[in-house]
Amino acid sequence: MNKTKRKIFETSMKLFAEKGYDATSIEEITATVGVAKGTLYYHFSSKEEIFKFLIEEGVKLLKNSIAIKTSKLENSIDKLRAVVLIQIKVLVKYENFMTIILSQIWGTDPRSQMCRSYVFEYIQMIEELVKEGIKKGEIIEGDSNVIASGIFGFTCSSLIYKLRHHEEQIDVAILDREIEKIFIKKLKK
């Protein structure tokens, strides 16, 4: 991604997270980036395309990070630990992305349906790891969808924790240990 496209991308993400998609205009994006509308339209055909690109790139980053890390691990509990740590790191580093996707999953419009689809696709990825662990006898018997959704939801609550403690630097390792202690350890068979 070239420098201008990245700046448009990052600025849009920040504005969408702070103001919401509907309240953010193309004019505001171009003014904040410091480019003409023509430059923005050279890289993106619409605000909707910027949004779609933002969501696709964020989910791809998250899924690729998890696929790379979990492929190197044998034990299912270790894989779930890796999922939690990566998700916390993404939540902390890319808070605006997570704010956008989580705020958009509740509606019925196409944008909300797209976000919900990506979230469900991501949870499905976690569910496959859970199913594998149950099959191997490393994870307790249970509904793999509930467990995967719980891991996602429990980890996303880290964003709420981060918002509540906005003036402090969030310690990823502490959050990871707490989620491990409260949730992941209890999945071990």
Q: Does one domain contain both 56 and 120?
A: yes
Number of domains making up the chain: 2
Q: What is the CATH number of the domain that holds 28?
A: 1.10.10.60
Element (H, E) at 171: none
Q: How far apart are CA 58 and CA 147, in angstroms?
A: 23
Q: State the DSSP string of 89-128.
A: HHHHHTHHHHHHHHHHTTSSSHHHHHHHHHHHHHHHHHHH
Q: Does one domain contain both 130 and 55?
A: yes
Determine the structural domain holding residue 69 and report its residue range: 51-187
pTM for the predicted model, two decimal places: 0.88
Kindly report, residue by residue over 84-126, the tens digit of the pLDDT.
999 988 888 888 898 899 889 998 999 999 999 999 999 999 9
Kindly report, residue by residue over 63-92, the tens digit of the pLDDT.
999 999 999 999 999 999 999 999 988 888
Q: State the DSSP string of 125-141.
A: HHHHHHHHHHHHTSB-S
The answer to whether residues 183 and 154 touch, using CB atoms and an 8 Å cutoff, is yes
Cα distances (angstroms) measured from residue 123 to each of 3, 25, 80? 32, 32, 12
The answer to whether residues 86 and 62 touch, using CB atoms and an 8 Å cutoff, is yes
